[in-house]
Amino acid sequence: RTDDEGRIKFTIRIGNNEINRFIQSDGNGAKMVYQMSVLNNNIHAT
């Protein structure tokens, strides 16, 4: 479920190994790329 501003109402906990798999580096820095899916819920982005 999401709050009134569309934020997911729970905390995601992942370990260091999982975080390292999500990191993409382009020479100018790095970013963490991930995707989240939920069933039967309305989610919107801002």
The per-residue pLDDT string of the chain (46 residues; one tens digit each, 9 = 90 and over) reads: 677 777 777 777 788 888 888 888 888 888 877 777 666 666 655 4
Domain boundaries, the chain: 1-37
The pTM score is 0.39
Please give the angle made by the CA atoms of 32, 21 and 37, to the nearest 5 degrees.
Answer: 65
Tokens coding 2: 């999401």
Please give the angle made by the CA atoms of 44, 16 and 21, to the nearest 5 degrees.
Answer: 65
pLDDT value at position 9?
74
